[in-house]
Structure 1
C-alpha cells in the first residue's frame, strides 16, 4: 500500500511517496503554482501521482504553532487537505509538521547543497518526505484519523 505525503506551501507543494510496503518515504517532486489560490492544476497533478503510484492514503502536513494551536497556515493546509480528498476520493490524514522545513534545511546543509535556487527546488519535497516518514514511523500500520504525533 503506497501512501502520499504532501507539504503544502503558499506557492508550492512538496510531494513524497512511500515504498509499496509503507516503510520508507522518498521525495518525488515539487509542484509549483503561480498564485496561492490557483489550485486546479496542483490538484490535477496530485491526482495523476496518486494513479501513477497507486496511492491508497494521503498524509498532509499540518503546520501547527509551537503552542499546539492552529494558525492561518494550518487552516489553509486543512482546507487544502479537504480539496485533495474531494479530488482523489482517498482518505487524507493531517499530520503535525512542525520543524520539518528546519529539518529539511539541515539535510540540505549536510548534503552541501548551496545556492538559494538549488535549495528552493528540493526543500519542499524533502519536507514532504520527512512528514511522510514521521507518519510511517508512528502510525504506518494503524488506521489514523487524528492530527497528532504518535
Structure 2
C-alpha cells in the first residue's frame, strides 16, 4: 500500500508517493495551490484518487519554526488537513517538516544547475524528503 506525502504552500502543493511497499519515497507532482484550505483539499483528494494502488495514509508536512513554534503556514496546513480528512477514507497525518525544503534544495542543486528547473521541482522534492522521514520512522 502506498503513502502520499504533501508539502502544502500558498502557491504550490508538492506531492510525493511511496513505492508499493511503503519503504521509498519519490517526488510525484506539483499542483497549483489556491491558498484556500477547502479547495486545496479538493485538489489533493483528486490527485490521490488518480492513484491505482490502495492508499495507506496521506502525510502532510506540518510547518514549524526550529524552536517548535507555529509559522505563518501552520494554521493553513492544519485547516487543509481537517478538510482532507472529510474527503478521503484514509488517515491524514501531520509530520514535522522542519528543514525539508532546505534538504530538498541541496539535493536538487547537486543534479540540476538551473535555478528555474530546480524551483519547478522543489515542492515535490520537499514532499519526498518529508515522506521519507515519515516512512523511516515507521520502520524503526
- TM-score, L = length of structure 1: 0.83
> Would you say 1:99 and 2:105 are equivalent positions?
no
SS in structure 2 of the partner of residue 56 of structure 1:
strand
Q: Deviations over 1:41-100 (max 9, x none)?
A: x43342233232432201100111111112331121111111111121321110000001
Aligned match of 1:43: 41
| Separation in structure 2 between the aligned mates of residue 49 and residue 55 of structure 1, nearest angstrom | 12
Change (3 A) 1:120 1:62: same
CA contact (8 A) 2:63 2:70 kept: yes
Q: Does 1:60 align with 2:68?
A: no
Distance 1:65 1:38, change over 3 A: closer
**Counterpart in the other structure of 2:89:** 89
User: How far did 1:109 drift?
Assistant: 1.0
C-alpha spacing 1:17/1:140, structure 2 compared with 1 (3 Å): farther
Aligned residue in 2 for 1:145: none
2:93 and 2:13 map into 1 onto residues whose CA distance is 16
Matched, 1:20 2:17: no
Contact 1:22 1:140 in 2 (8 A): no
Q: Which runs of 5 or more structure 2 residues have no equivalent in the other structure? A: none
Tell me: CA distance 1:32–1:140, structure 2 relative to 1, closer, same or farther (3 Å).
farther
Return closer, same or farther for 1:36/1:72 CA change in 2, 3 Å cut-off: same
5+ residue gaps in structure 1?
142-150
Q: How does 1:107-118 map to 2 (within 5 A)?
A: 107-115=107-115, 117-118=116-117
Poorly superposed stretches of 4+, deviation over 6 Å: none
* CA contact 2:41–2:81 (8 Å) conserved in 1: no
Kindly report the root-mean-square deviation, in angstroms, between the aligned alpha carbons of the 2 structures. Answer: 1.8
TM-score, normalising length: structure 2? 0.89
